Structure 1
Amino acid sequence: MDNKNQFKPSNVIVGISFGYHDSSCCIMKDGELVAAVQEERFSRVKNDKSFPQQSLRYCLEVAQVTLDQVDCIAYYECPEKKLSRQIWMGIQKGASAHYKAKVAAQLTQPSPMDIIRQKTGYSGDIEIVEHHLSHAASTFYFSGFDEAAVLTVDGVGEWSTTSYGKGAHSKLELFEEVSFPDSIGLLYSTVTSYLGFKVNSGEYKVMGLAPYGKPRYAKQIRQLIELKDKGQFALNMKYFAFLQQECMYSEELIKLFNTPAREPESAILQFHKDIAKSLQVVLEEILLEKVRYLHEQVPSKNLCMAGGVALNCVANGRIKREGPFENLFVQPASGDAGTSLGAAAVVYQRRTSKRPSSEKLKSVLLGPEYDSTYIKNLLVSSNATFEDFSGNEEGLLNYVATQLADGKVIGWFQGRMEFGPRSLGARSILADPRGEEMRDKINALVKKRESFRPFAPAIMEDKVAPHFDLDTDSPFMLETCQVKSSLYLPAITHVDNSARVQTVNPNYENRFYKLLSHFNRITDCPILLNTSFNVRGEPIVCSPLDAIMCFVRAEIDFLVLEDFVLSQEMVPELWKVGVLNTPISKQSDEKSIGHAVYSFM
């Protein structure tokens, strides 16, 4: 007997999503989620859609299995149904020649199953899970709820754009959907594009811009969509162009607002702020109406949400406050990255008739980690000057907390990387939230992004009540609430007095919690500004080399790599030359990072 197969673990399921945007991979062993990561973190290509080769390799290593020990690979959508939609789009009246050619090119592409086998050599089972079922499973099976109503809302999967469902025990059923081209996600993305931001990544910016405006154009936004009975709605397609060309909006939309579309990177006027506010208000109205309908069909206390629209934390907060459900769980990786989790969960349930996990997802620290020995060897071999706090965690935390209290900005790199779009204390940029100038400093110098975008507060979970109007834990920054603290917190308080809070639990983010505790001891403030460890245009850092590149490029004051601290003053001039001459995007694979850093160290 083959020894490798003799000790084969049971029910090893790999979930994979790729081909559109934000490719990812996860692995489950006996229903337990062991690892999950987005391919962009390895490739350094933001929202990378390519086959997640490096992510798969990582997941197998963490699970300590080989590919031939995998029972099944679960793929996150039905290729045949998706292709039927693409063909339908290509034959629409008025479709441009370029658009038709692009759609026709899809017919010549290998199927996802063929790509999986070609890239991996895997000869085992591959199962298909439809896109919105993957979204639904990614939230219900990780919610901790024994039963719940389920709502998934995104741009489009195969044909579905919104799904209504219910989960009970191990069973999950979707009982109604809205079909393409009618889509809340595409409505939001179309206006995002009109406002000069990039589709599939700029929607966050629109949400952040909205509080600066007034809903003066809500009436016009409502003309873009007709709400129908039950869970249905329909877009007024005369305002949309995505069926005929790559542009999202038509000339009719420009006429409706009586203003040309904003050019990317141009000035943001009050008009644009008012459009953003109007869109956000209408989005919330639509979601609240459909959530109330869902509650009529599934009168549960619990609601689970997923899909890209579920990352709109402002809408989530309003659903929690004003909707009919008592409890809300939003999948922290609600976009397409999270569908790999859902696909794997569905396949596990199909094969065992059991629910993957009865526990609520408490942590998304599911990515790579690098031990202190590896990091120290990296720094020593590159002749770096650094402070070594090995075996002295108390000294490290005191030192970093003191620097934060002194107004310094910290790059914080600890443990396993987060899965999903938020940095949650493993790959974070941290700062004192009380500084009047801190928000502008980080936006302009570190993040190199628009000044209107807010930063999030991270707070010790047991210190929330005096500072934020939040009645439950919020470990994943997925809803906003009002700031009520007696402290002056300008760096994390948005213009409408809201904040997107992360509550930090010592059981799941131990060292980060300890840092908050030390900062509180020094300042009587249990809160830190927490934003993702990256500069504009690149993914969140994954490896120590990524962190060094970002630290140098963004001129962050201090970099904390596990037990080691580097200051900007310690950075040799030749490091700066090497890093600053390396392009940010599409270059930062291991080889090119190593060349940029090592050759100047």
Structure 2
Amino acid sequence: MNVLAIQDGHNASCVYLEDGEVRLAVQEERLRREKNFHGFPLQGIEFIEKESGVKASEMDRIVLASSYVPSPPPGGREARIRAYKKDPAKSRVKEGLKQLGVKRAVAAGQIQKRKNILAQMGCEQSKIEVMDHHFCHAASAYYGWGKYDEDVLVLTNDGAGDDLCATVSIGSRGRLKRIAEVRMEHSIGELWALFTAMMGMVPLEHEYKLMGLAPYAPESGVERVKRVLEDCFTFESDGLTWRVAGGCPP
């Protein structure tokens, strides 16, 4: 079976699988020479068609990651930086979360728009499947691990995707069962994006640099920041999910 998987949001990409094995994978930014390209990966699909010898219309299945993909931030990366510096609480990322709040009202139309793009390539609508954003994250970890004879705890945690920012699942005998989820309003990832901007870097792009700098922080400062962050979130009684405490951004 030939499968084409498409991620058409932030840092768009696509993957080609043949009989369950990844054969090709490409990020659109590499082909367009546009960092963290946001949109449908048309050039990536063309690349996979050329390298695999299989056209998109000939795929047995085409999978779209996420039901709803927020519109690209107007003005790109420079606009994101300016928005955070001017007023973090009214940043473009914050506005993006508000867009996600009306996801259910517009998701069907957006899915059809994406299907129409594929239809122009000759793809049959019946072969197109839309997958939940966090299920895709969890699946990449669980099926990538590949040990189906043991129960595996699978955690996802990001800025936001399909109304959620985190999930807890159990992988068992080749299947994933979600047991808990955290709504996007309580995203730790969005707070991390705010920190990134406060450090003079690009939110939704340079978060990894903060991770790289973390080991250089003095221990006394680490403890002080840790106490502040612990006050920003409270865990629910189930011990698996959390929520933003009152007065804490974003």
Pairwise TM-score range, normalised by the shorter structure: 0.7 to 0.9
Q: Distance in 2 between matches of 1:37 and 1:61?
A: 12
Aligned residue number for residue 76 of structure 2: none
Aligned residue number for residue 130 of structure 1: 132
The two structures have a TM-score, normalised by structure 1, of 0.33
Counterpart check, 1:17 vs 2:7: yes
Q: Distance in 2 between matches of 1:237 and 1:200?
A: 24
Note the C-alpha offset of 1:221. Answer: 2.2
Aligned residue number for residue 181 of structure 1: 185
Note the C-alpha offset of 1:25. Answer: 0.4
Consecutive unaligned residues of structure 2, counting only runs of 5 or more, are: 71-88
Note the C-alpha offset of 1:182. Answer: 0.8
Query: Could you tell me which of 229, 234, 239 is aligned with 1:221?
Result: 229
Aligned residue number for residue 206 of structure 1: 210
Aligned residue number for residue 33 of structure 1: 22
Q: Distance in 2 between matches of 1:167 and 1:109?
A: 29
Aligned residue number for residue 118 of structure 1: 117
Aligned residue number for residue 166 of structure 2: 162
Structure 1 residue matching 2:25: 3-state secondary structure: strand
Aligned residue number for residue 147 of structure 2: 145
* Paired positions, count: 215
Q: Distance in 2 between matches of 1:210 and 1:159?
A: 29
Q: Distance in 1 between matches of 2:99 and 2:137?
A: 25
Note the C-alpha offset of 1:118. Answer: 2.5
Give CA-to-partner distance per residue, 1:141-161, whole Å, 9 cap, x none. Answer: 111212322111111111121
Note the C-alpha offset of 1:110. Answer: 5.8
Q: Is the 8 A contact 1:25 1:56 kept in 2?
A: yes
The 1:208/1:234 distance shift into structure 2, 3 A limit, reads same
Counterpart check, 1:75 vs 2:64: yes
Consecutive unaligned residues of structure 1, counting only runs of 5 or more, are: 1-10, 84-93, 242-601
Note the C-alpha offset of 1:217. Answer: 2.6
Q: Is the 8 A contact 1:117 1:123 kept in 2?
A: no
The 1:212/1:201 distance shift into structure 2, 3 A limit, reads same
The 1:55/1:33 distance shift into structure 2, 3 A limit, reads same
Q: Distance in 2 between matches of 1:123 and 1:196?
A: 44
Q: Is the 8 A contact 2:67 2:111 kept in 1?
A: no
Give CA-to-partner distance per residue, 1:389-435, whole Å, 9 cap, x none. Answer: xxxxxxxxxxxxxxxxxxxxxxxxxxxxxxxxxxxxxxxxxxxxxxx
Note the C-alpha offset of 1:130. Answer: 0.2
Note the C-alpha offset of 1:68. Answer: 2.4
Note the C-alpha offset of 1:184. Answer: 2.2
Q: Distance in 2 between matches of 1:108 and 1:160?
A: 15
Q: Is the 8 A contact 1:29 1:63 kept in 2?
A: no
Give CA-to-partner distance per residue, 1:559-599, whole Å, 9 cap, x none. Answer: xxxxxxxxxxxxxxxxxxxxxxxxxxxxxxxxxxxxxxxxx
Structure 2 residue matching 1:239: 3-state secondary structure: coil
Q: Distance in 1 between matches of 2:163 and 2:107?
A: 21
Give CA-to-partner distance per residue, 1:153-200, whole Å, 9 cap, x none. Answer: 111111121111122232122121111211222222222222222112
Q: Is the 8 A contact 1:34 1:62 kept in 2?
A: no
Aligned residue number for residue 553 of structure 1: none
Aligned residue number for residue 240 of structure 2: 231
The 1:209/1:219 distance shift into structure 2, 3 A limit, reads same
Q: Distance in 2 between matches of 1:137 and 1:25?
A: 16
Aligned residue number for residue 79 of structure 2: none
* 1:279-428 correspondence to structure 2 within 5 Å: none
The two structures have a TM-score, normalised by structure 2, of 0.76
Give CA-to-partner distance per residue, 1:432-469, whole Å, 9 cap, x none. Answer: xxxxxxxxxxxxxxxxxxxxxxxxxxxxxxxxxxxxxx
Counterpart amino acid of residue 228 in structure 1: E
Give CA-to-partner distance per residue, 1:332-375, whole Å, 9 cap, x none. Answer: xxxxxxxxxxxxxxxxxxxxxxxxxxxxxxxxxxxxxxxxxxxx
Structure 2 residue matching 1:111: 3-state secondary structure: helix
Q: Which moved more, 1:158-167 or 1:120-129?
A: 120-129
Q: Is the 8 A contact 1:162 1:178 kept in 2?
A: yes
Structure 1 residue matching 2:159: 3-state secondary structure: coil
Structure 2 residue matching 1:155: 3-state secondary structure: strand
- Runs of 4+ displaced beyond 4 Å: 102-110
**Structure whose residues are more often strand by fraction:** 2
Q: Distance in 2 between matches of 1:239 and 1:184?
A: 11
**Structure whose residues are more often helix by fraction:** 2
Note the C-alpha offset of 1:13. Answer: 1.1
Q: Distance in 2 between matches of 1:206 and 1:154?
A: 15
Counterpart check, 1:61 vs 2:50: yes
Q: Distance in 2 between matches of 1:49 and 1:62?
A: 23
Q: Distance in 2 between matches of 1:210 and 1:17?
A: 30
| Sequence identity (%) | 29
The 1:109/1:50 distance shift into structure 2, 3 A limit, reads farther
Q: Is the 8 A contact 2:64 2:128 kept in 1?
A: yes
Structure 2 residue matching 1:135: 3-state secondary structure: helix
Which one has a bigger Cα radius of gyration?
1
Q: Distance in 2 between matches of 1:38 and 1:155?
A: 20
